[in-house]
Amino acid sequence: MDYRRLGSSGLKLSALSFGSWVTFKNQVDDAAAVELMKLAYDAGVNFFDNAEVYADGDSERIMGRALKTLGWGRDTYTLSSKVFWGGKLPTQRGLSRKHVRDACDAALRRLQVDYLDLYFCHRPDLDTPIEETVRAMHELVLAGKVLYWGTSEWSADQIAQAHGIARAGGLTPPTMEQPQYNLFVREKVEREFAQLYSTLGLGTTIWSPLASGILSGKYEHGVPKDSRMALPEYRWLRDELENAEGRERVRKAGELGKLARELGATTAQLAIGWCLLNPNVSTVILGATNAAQLRENLGALRILPELRQGVVERIESIVANKPAAPQRY
Ligand code: NDP
C-alpha cells in the first residue's frame, strides 16, 4: 500500500480506501462486511468511508458492528461520516448548526466510536449560511468529536468561501473535498479545483472510481442480475446506463478493457490506477460487493508502473474528454 497526505494536513491515508455506499445492507451483510473490511485492512487500507444517509443509518450500524468484531486499535484506521440527509423533517436535513451536531452524535453512536477522523458536508446547503456550518464544524473539532472536516460536491467558490470565513474568524478550515472522479467525470478535480490544491492545501477523497462499476467492463453484455444496476432502488443509475451517454460509456469501457489486457491488467485496475496517477487525489475510495472484486481492485497498485506516458495517451484518446486548461481565479 502507498500512503498519501490528505492535502496539506499531516494525516496520511492509504492511496486506496474502502466505502459502503449502496453495498452495506443492500448487498453486503454483517459477515461480508467483516470479511471485506478485514481484507482491505490487511492490504494496508486505513480509511473507511460512510455517511448518515447510507441505508438510512444501517450502513454505519453494520460498519460499527464490524469494527467491534474486528477489534482493531482505534489509532490504526480512520473513519468518516457525512452529514446532509438525516431524515425527512426540516431539523434532520442540511447543514444547520443543529443538524450538523445531532448528525455527528448519531453517527458516533451507530459507528460505536468516540470520534470521527473525517466529517464531510455531503452537499452544499443553500439555506444555511456557510459561516454557520464552518462554526458548527469548528465546534465539533474543539469538542474532540471530529478531527478533520470537509465537503463533498461543493464548488471551488464555496470551498474558498469556507476557507476565508475560517481564516478570518480563527476557525478550523475544511481540509478535504470528496468529489466524483473517474475516467468519465474529470472536470471538478482536474479543472475547477486546480488552484485549490496549492493555495488552500485541499485534499481529495474521490468517489466512484469505476463509475458505479461501468469501468470494470461488466455491463458490456447487459446488466448482470446481481449487480448494482439491477437493484430496484437504484433504477435511476440504470436509466443513466441505458441512455445515449451511458451506452457510450459502456463502449469506451470495452475499448479500455482491450488496452488493459495488453498490460496484463483488468479494466477495473486500469481505471483505478489512472485515478492514482493524479497527485491531487489523496485517496481513491473503492466499492466492492465481494472479496474477489476487492482483491482485484486493490491490485490496481501493482499495475501503476505500466501506466507510462504512451499508455496514458492511448487512454486519453479512448475517453476523449480531457478538461480544458485549469480554471484560474
Ligand atoms: P465504484 O464506482 O468503484 O463502484 C463500485 C461497485 O462496482 C461495486 O460495489 C460493484 O458493484 C462494482 N465493482 C467493483 N469492483 C468490481 C470489479 N472488479 N468487477 C466487477 N464489478 C465491480 O465505487 P462506488 O460508487 O461504490 O463509490 C465508492 C465509495 O465512494 C462509496 O462506497 C462511498 O463511500 C463513496 N461515495 C461517495 C459519494 C458522495 O457523494 N460523497 C457518492 C458515491 C460514493 P456490483 O457488484 O453491484 O456490480
Question: In sequence order, what are the beta bridge partners of 16?
Answer: 284
Q: Which three cell numbers stand for residue 159?
A: 470551498
Q: Which three cell numbers stand for residue 23?
A: 453495498
pTM of the model: 0.98
Q: Looking at residue 325, what is its pLDDT?
A: 80
Return the residue whose CA atom lies nearest to atom 17 of ligand 1: 293
Catalytic position from the list 54, 77, 119, 148:
54
Return the residue whose CA atom lies nearest to atom 8 of ligand 1: 288
Q: How far is the centre of ligand 1, averaged over its atoms, from the C-alpha of 127 (Å)?
A: 30
Atom of ligand 1 nearest to the CA of 50: 34
CA 311/CA 209 separation, integer angstroms: 19
Atom of ligand 1 nearest to the CA of 120: 41
Q: How far is the centre of ligand 1, averaged over its atoms, from the C-alpha of 196 (Å)?
A: 26
Q: Looking at residue 327, what is its pLDDT?
A: 62
| Every domain of the chain and the residues it spans | 3-212+275-307
Q: Looking at residue 329, what is its pLDDT?
A: 56
Average pLDDT of each block of 10 consecutive residues along the chain (329 residues)?
98 98 98 98 98 98 98 98 98 98 98 98 98 98 98 98 98 98 98 97 98 97 96 96 97 98 97 98 98 98 95 97 79
- Tell me whether residue 197 is one of the annotated catalytic residues: no
Atom of ligand 1 nearest to the CA of 292: 18
Pick the CATH number of 3-212+275-307 from 3.40.50.2000, 3.90.1720.10, 3.40.50.1820, 3.20.20.100: 3.20.20.100
Q: How far is the centre of ligand 1, averaged over its atoms, from the C-alpha of 241 (Å)?
A: 15
Q: What DSSP letter does each residue of 222-264 carry, written as one string? A: S--TTSGGG-GGGHHHHHHHHSHHHHHHHHHHHHHHHHHHHTT
Long-range Cβ pairs for the range 317-324 (8 Å, 24+): 318/252, 318/255, 318/256, 318/259, 319/183, 319/184, 319/252, 319/256, 321/183, 321/184, 321/186, 322/186, 322/190, 323/186, 323/187, 323/190, 323/191, 324/191
- On whether the CB atoms of residues 271 and 256 are closer than 8 A, the answer is yes
- On whether the CB atoms of residues 50 and 80 are closer than 8 A, the answer is yes
CA 28/CA 59 separation, integer angstroms: 9
